[in-house]
Structure 1
Amino acid sequence: MPRPVARVLALLELLQSGGIRTVPELADRLGVDERTVRRYAAHLLDLDVPVESVRGRHGGYRLAPGHRMPPLMLNDDEALAVLLGLLAGRRTGLSTATDTASETAAAKIRRVLPQRLRLALDSLLGSLAFTTPPGETVPPQAAVLLPVADAVDHHRPVSIRYTGADGRRSERTVHPHGLVAHAGRWYLTAVDPTSGQDRTFRLDRLTGVRALPGSFEPPTGPDPAARVLTGFATAPYRHEVILRIHGTAEGIRTRLPAGVAIVEEPASPDGEDPRAGGWCRVELRVDRLDWLPAVLASLDRPFVVERPDELRDLVEALAERLIDSARRLPPPARPA
């Protein structure tokens, strides 16, 4: 494709992204001077593309509102990004589409690609292997995700029907303030206006989302992702674990991430380097304790178990097994 034609199409793609684009911005993005940008805009007008010139200090070019553009044209990098995005979304469980929708979308894109690019992408997708199994989660329905996202963006209350983990169904009004993708699932963070408590809902368990009149003020404090992770770390489980670990919060979270544990770093005295770390308080709620001793050992940092006593016993048992293994001699070699 001749270079000027490619740049005219690149200008069209920039304008399709919406809003007003200034002439200096377009010149910088296209790698041409401002006079050439105006000439390219004139070329688009000659092709009956409704490019509007906006005057004023922040003026520039934009497409006429409501104009329907022809099908998108993707270059090699864009086609690869879209197809890999569809595949990765299905594998990780973060896709908002069903398997059928993802496959048909990918098929439509492949159908309009040049044969050279289509064969190259088929070779890539056919030879690509993953180290993790496909996600087994149920993606949220578009009829749920889109109105919820609109309510979050415009601070509107919504009515929802929700099925809890125990199978009980309820209908409630909430003030939604965040959408979070975590570990292959989608979550909604919202405030219950009756109790004022922060709540987290799995999107695949939501139905009947209906926007209500009015608006609300989003809560201050932690962002939605932090609220979801804190909710996981403080959920009611069989054991409440309190530890003191000497190190930095960043180092501790390499083995005990935010969705598992709450790490409180001590204030650094004046003149001390905070990177040296101190005695952090670590709180976990877990159903089982048997995995924790090995994780604590892998941190390779001094630690103290404040509670429960059962965890102390498990740490001692692991230490004895490690000492026993370290002192054990290898079995004699068998004769050839």
Structure 2
Amino acid sequence: MPRPTGRVLTLLELLQSGGTRTVAELADRLGVDGRTVRRYVNQLTELDVPVESVRGRYGGYRLAPGYRLPPLMLGDDEALAVLLGLVAGRRAGLTTTQRTASETASAKIRRVLPKHLARRLDTLLESLDFTDRPGPDAGPDAGILLTLADAVRHRRPVSLRYTDGHGRRTERTLHAYGIVAHAGRWYVTGTDAGIGEDRTFRLDRIADARTLPGSFEAPTGPGPAQRMLSGFAAAEYRHEVTLRIHGTVEQIRARLPAGVARLAEHAPAADEDRTAERWRRVELRAERLDWLPPVLAALDRPFVIERPAELRDLVGAFADRLARYAHGDSGRPPA
């Protein structure tokens, strides 16, 4: 295949991946100059491929909405990878609410698989299991997901109609930094323009999202995932817990991850070794305390409970039960 023809097909593949591509981006990917990119675009339009020119700051080229892809050819390994991705996505809750789209896509690929590969795939799926069960249908609406992704990419404010966990409905203006998939759910995190503070919203609770005029600057520092986990750890709950644990960051995070607890470092030196064992302050909030004693026992590290006093009592009672069990005293009459 002549090199120019190969580059034209590569250009089509780039445009099919979605979104608007700038001339500079396409020129860099194709290894040509801007004038050559425009010539390749003209060749595509002559072949009735509906390439649109987008003007403005974020301008460039894109395929017209609704353009249907030509027949797609996948190798055996590629087809298997796509099908496994669809299965895993459904099991993890990381699909949109349009679940039939995922199912029909799987069916279309399976119909054209060679018989020997289809049989091997069926064997794999029959033997495959997951450590967690599918959760409730909490996938986001595909249109809302794409609107938020566009707002994140172009740093445009977005208006949300949101229903919180208590059923309260509000309308927010969000400067969205990123979309995060976590524990089988989708979230969008950013600054709530009305209060000027970071907030995280579940996508399945967003009834409507639309972009607004204007733009904003992206913040420096932690990325969207870390901001979301920090927000979870600082959320308001019934109990505020403060501990001092002697260990490394990795040892503590193994049982108390960032989404659960916050490590309150006291102005550590720039070259501090995070693998060194030392006393570290840990803060968390919890609606209940009964899950903490087993976690602290599993840490197997020295710790001090600064607050609340109720947790000290629970840990003491848990230790007493373990001691009785260790000596064969279950507290129940023998069978």
1:75 paired residue number: 75
Greater mean alpha carbon deviation, residues 260-269 or residues 279-288: 260-269
Check the 8 A contact 1:264/1:282 in 2, yes or no. yes
User: How far apart, in 2, do the equivalents of 1:93 and 1:192 lie?
Assistant: 26
Equivalent position SS for 2:174: strand
| Cα shift readout 1:286-325 (whole Å, capped 9, x = no counterpart) | 1111111111111111000000011111111122222222
Equivalent position SS for 2:176: strand
Change in 2 beyond 3 A, CA 1:203/1:249:
same
1:96 paired residue number: 96
1:149 paired residue number: 149
User: How far apart, in 1, do the equivalents of 2:167 and 2:300 lie?
Assistant: 42
User: How far apart, in 2, do the equivalents of 1:69 and 1:99 lie?
Assistant: 21
TM-score for both structures, normalised by structure 1: 0.78
2:201 paired residue number: 201
User: How far apart, in 2, do the equivalents of 1:272 and 1:187 lie?
Assistant: 33
In structure 2, give the amino acid aligned to 1:16.
E
Change in 2 beyond 3 A, CA 1:173/1:284:
same
Q: How many residues align?
A: 295
| Cα shift readout 1:141-160 (whole Å, capped 9, x = no counterpart) | 11100011000000001111
User: How far apart, in 1, do the equivalents of 2:171 and 2:241 lie?
Assistant: 35
| Cα shift readout 1:9-52 (whole Å, capped 9, x = no counterpart) | 9x967972466588xx9xxxxxxxxxxxxxxxxxxxxxxxxxx9
User: How far apart, in 1, do the equivalents of 2:319 and 2:304 lie?
Assistant: 14
Correspondence 1:205-284 to 2 at 5 A: 205-265=205-265, 274-284=274-284
In structure 2, give the amino acid aligned to 1:171.
E
Change in 2 beyond 3 A, CA 1:113/1:175:
same
Pairwise CA distance, 1:265: 4.3
Change in 2 beyond 3 A, CA 1:70/1:243:
same
Check the 8 A contact 2:237/2:285 in 1, yes or no. yes
| Cα shift readout 1:229-264 (whole Å, capped 9, x = no counterpart) | 111111111111000000011110111111111123
Pairwise CA distance, 1:116: 2.4
Correspondence 1:117-196 to 2 at 5 A: 117-196=117-196
1:16 paired residue number: 13
Q: Mark the structure with the bigger radius of gyration.
A: 1
Check the 8 A contact 2:157/2:176 in 1, yes or no. yes
Greater mean alpha carbon deviation, residues 240-249 or residues 102-111: 102-111
Check the 8 A contact 1:137/1:184 in 2, yes or no. no
| Cα shift readout 1:210-244 (whole Å, capped 9, x = no counterpart) | 11111111222221111111111111111110000
User: How far apart, in 2, do the equivalents of 1:288 and 1:329 lie?
Assistant: 27
User: How far apart, in 1, do the equivalents of 2:258 and 2:296 lie?
Assistant: 16
**Structure 2 alignment gaps of length 5 or more:** 16-24, 50-67
Change in 2 beyond 3 A, CA 1:123/1:301:
same
Check the 8 A contact 1:233/1:284 in 2, yes or no. yes
Counterpart of 1:54 (choices 29, 32, 38) is 32
Change in 2 beyond 3 A, CA 1:329/1:315:
closer
User: How far apart, in 1, do the equivalents of 2:233 and 2:69 lie?
Assistant: 48
Pairwise CA distance, 1:201: 0.8
In structure 2, give the amino acid aligned to 1:101.
A
User: How far apart, in 1, do the equivalents of 2:230 and 2:189 lie?
Assistant: 12
Question: How high is the sequence identity, in percent, across the aligned residues?
Answer: 60
Check the 8 A contact 1:15/1:62 in 2, yes or no. no
Check the 8 A contact 1:233/1:262 in 2, yes or no. yes
**Structure 1 alignment gaps of length 5 or more:** 26-51
Change in 2 beyond 3 A, CA 1:53/1:296:
closer
Equivalent position SS for 2:207: strand
TM-score for both structures, normalised by structure 2: 0.78
Check the 8 A contact 2:97/2:138 in 1, yes or no. no
Change in 2 beyond 3 A, CA 1:150/1:298:
same
Equivalent position SS for 2:306: strand
Change in 2 beyond 3 A, CA 1:232/1:122:
same
Change in 2 beyond 3 A, CA 1:13/1:73:
farther
Correspondence 1:20-39 to 2 at 5 A: none
1:320 maps to 2:298: no
